[in-house]
């Protein structure tokens, strides 16, 4: 069930190119690549951006499975490895997920292109006296 849920999200993230499945003999996670006529292969063969999409899909599926009593999820790491098109796809997916749920989706990022799309932002600044958090003004 977890892989099926993650597969739906990955299909959306990859514009229908990829789905996830459990390997028939190994039980390992495989990817079905519709860009290659439905070829099944190890998920380990995905590129960096594709691996990030698959990991994000699995993390969101896992959070959905355990989120019955949780009202937030925070994602950290990996955004800096994405090319601009993939970053746009991931940001759009996160926006849709946040809009369609009663759950807070927080993103920890150093990538300005992603931070600019977050509707409520907190910035952490460090100086000689320590670290300081402030709510950032968001342009309309």
Please, which pLDDT band fits residue 32 given cuts at 50, 70 and 90?
very high
Residue 67: the pLDDT is: 61
Q: Between the ranges 29-33, 104-108, 114-118, where is the mean pLDDT highest?
A: 29-33
Residue 1: the pLDDT is: 78
**Average pLDDT of span 99-128:** 82
pTM of the prediction?
A: 0.67
Q: What is the dihedral of CA 109, 111, 117, 118, to 10 degrees?
A: 20
């Amino acid at each position: 069930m977890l892989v099926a849920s993650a597969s739906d999200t990955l299909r959306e993230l990859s514009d229908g190119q990829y789905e996830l499945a459990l390997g028939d003999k190994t039980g390992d996670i495989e990817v079905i690549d519709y860009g290659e006529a439905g070829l099944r292969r190890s998920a380990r063969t995905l590129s960096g951006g594709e691996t990030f999409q698959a990991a994000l899909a699995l993390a969101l599926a896992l959070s959905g499975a355990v989120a019955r009593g949780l009202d937030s999820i925070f994602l950290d790491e990996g955004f800096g490895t994405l090319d601009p098109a993939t970053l746009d796809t991931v940001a759009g997916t996160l926006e849709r997920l946040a809009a369609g749920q009663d759950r807070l989706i927080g993103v920890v990022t150093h990538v300005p292109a992603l931070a600019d799309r977050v509707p409520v932002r907190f910035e952490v600044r460090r100086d000689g006296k320590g670290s300081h958090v402030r709510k950032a003004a968001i342009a309309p």
